[in-house]
Chain A
Amino acid sequence: MRKLLKRPDLGIIIGCLFIFALFTLYDPAQWFNWGTVSNIGEYTAILGLLAIGQSFVVLIREIDLSVGSVYGIVGIAFVGLENNNVSDVLAFVLAMLLALLVGLVNAALVIRGKLSSMIVTLGGLFFYRGLIYIITHGAVTGVPQAVRQNWFAQLLGGHSLRIQNGFLLLLILGFLCAVTLHETRFGNHLLALGGDPASAESRGVPLGKVRTIAFALCSLFAGLSAIVTLTNDPETSVSLGTGMELEAIAAVVVGGTLLTGGRGTMLGTILGSFFLTAVRSEIIALGAPPSWYVSFVGIALLTLVTINTLLLKRLRISG
């Protein structure tokens, strides 16, 4: 029991149970509709993958504002390569290499350039978005019909037992990341760096290496999320991913990860993504204008962070 109370993601676990009960009582017909579930699953996967990557960066006291634009440019590179008759697997590999490159550049600027990650990735947010406009001249075609039918696109964008493969991918990767975070040396170093960089360094933790991997993972997850999106929903535009960085950060924070680093879980991040997605879907289903969602994210963020802070304080006092 004491262990459960100490979890940083306790707030979002309660939050998810709450909305689940609320929607079940309030709007069961819509809530248990397979179409709704499917939609929520799809978008939770997209947001969740972005947010898992972001979690690694937030856990080390940094932030990556470029993920929305990275999501856009990797997605558009993927589509562009496929439209130029590059095989889908190769297109995937090349697009992911682009994501990796962006992550490494971010890390290098933060570590070697000694710049704040907020500045570096804010620059990235504008730079990569601008690059999309320059390369595409504003016109983007979707994933070709033929490509959508073959096994690779189906693997990422299809269904297994009526469940979206993207959602299954989120669960698998989320589990692997959680194990990495809590059961490996790298995870321990990452948490130590997030908790107290000077102390971690004094114990011989290779800070530069850990930071580099965190930024690389963040960009890779953003790229993967874009590709999952496009294999699912092939229509796209130059604004692909705009604003997604803030949603991903909101999901991470709502999920109980501290922006000050060192405390958080992957389960919380996934539940945070589910929470925001489910409520968005329900707000629309109830007939409210979709724009209300934006305000809702703000309210949810403040409420859950307040709950988390109160829980943390109580925990500190009770020991």
Chain B
Amino acid sequence: MITGSDGQSRPAGSPKKPLISIKNVGLSYGNFQALTDVSVDFYQGELVGLVGDNGAGKTTLIRIISGIIPPTSGEVYFDGERIIKFHPKKAIDLGLECIQQAIGLCDNLSVGRNYFLGREPVRRILGLPFLDKKKIREASAKVVHDFGLRDSVDVDDEIALLSGGEKQTFKIARAVTFRNRVIIMDEPTNHLSVRERTRVNELAVQLKQQGLLVIYITHDIFQIHRIADRIVILENGRKVTDVPRDAMSAEALEGIIRDGSRTSTKEPKVS
């Protein structure tokens, strides 16, 4: 384990340059300080658990990284380049995808159409662009197969027929196959069965092994401690802990979260 000059730890063997670098970022909504002076680096091929209680600032931090809101102070770098304009489209173009529980799939569309939503392939007939349904069907069927969804899933069926876990797996599969570099998972295992949860966690590890940066947001410290390389804990908008997984036990980390919330005053929920 190497400790950088900034006092942050990172896994040995990873390239020195962080893929995403957050420097002294703060964000306030009116009088409310959602994030205060947060600095954290994320490296390629790393699975980072971003943990904290409700209102700790996890989601706010992710919203900044995904370009939804700009920070009020501080700097954000992606692959060494400072981000000046914050826009979701820009984040998508940079290869960053955020997987959220409730968002990302249109229940009224087929599996195939959801797979390509926003980047539908077209073929030209008499010069006019029409959906390339054959490609949609074949490419999405391959993904359904490769990611071990039920064989009975027909890509022409509405996606509403999939279970919660299957939908989550499908979103991850979609994020991976479109050659993303960063996958952010926002509470990916909420409302999932035990088996489905295991499956999603396995996928998170596989993505990391393929060289992607995975930022995994959760408030379940025991679950994330089993799979993460590094754990970052936010508390009341501040980074309180940033340690490699092996440096602390899950119990000790839980203690930090517990004690943090005991001493803190009640803040309005922003996460």
A interface list, Cβ under 8 A from B: 179, 183-185, 187-189, 191-192, 194-196, 198-200, 202-205, 262-263, 316, 319
Contact = CB atoms under 8 A, between A and B. Distances in A.
List the 10 closest A-B pairs by CB distance, nearest first: A195-B108, A203-B118, A262-B108, A195-B106, A204-B118, A196-B106, A203-B117, A192-B106, A185-B120, A183-B130
Contacts of A319: 161
B178 to A, nearest CB: 10
Contact of B107 (A183, A187, A196): A196
Interface in B103-156: 103-109, 113, 117-120, 122, 129-131, 133
B228 to A, nearest CB: 25
A268 to B, nearest CB: 15
Residue of B103, B108, B122, B161 with most chain A CB atoms under a 10 A cut-off: B108
13 contacts: A183-B133, A185-B131, A191-B108, A195-B107, A195-B108, A196-B108, A199-B105, A200-B106, A202-B100, A202-B104, A203-B119, A204-B118, A319-B161
A161 to B, nearest CB: 27
A188 B131 contact: yes
B112 to A, nearest CB: 10
A183 B133 CA distance: 8
B252 interface: no
B120 A188 contact: yes
B17 interface: no
Given A203-B104, A204-B89, A184 B109 contact: no
B94 interface: no
A200 B117 contact: yes
A174 B161 CA distance: 30
A311 B178 CA distance: 37
A16 to B, nearest CB: 24
A188 B113 contact: yes
Interface size class of B (residues with CB under 8 A): 20 to 34
B106 A262 contact: yes
A263 B108 CA distance: 7
B221 to A, nearest CB: 28
Given A195-B109, A196-B108, A202-B104, A184 B117 contact: no
Contacts of A316: 160
B92 interface: yes
Contact of B117 (A179, A187, A205): A205
B127 to A, nearest CB: 13
Given A184-B130, A185-B131, A195-B108, A202 B103 contact: yes
Contacts of A189: 118
A18 B89 CA distance: 50
Nearest to A3: B156
B111 to A, nearest CB: 13
B131 A192 contact: no
B92 A204 contact: yes
B110 to A, nearest CB: 10
A288 B88 CA distance: 60
Nearest to A315: B158
Nearest to A183: B130
A196 B105 contact: yes
A185 B102 CA distance: 24
A204 B107 contact: no
Interface string B199-214: 0000000000000000
A198 B131 contact: no
A188 B161 contact: no
Nearest to B121: A185
A195 B118 CA distance: 14
Contacts of A200: 106, 117-118
A257 to B, nearest CB: 12
Contacts of B109: 188, 191-192, 195
B257 to A, nearest CB: 29
A64 B126 CA distance: 34
A195 B103 CA distance: 12
Contacts of B118: 189, 200, 203-205
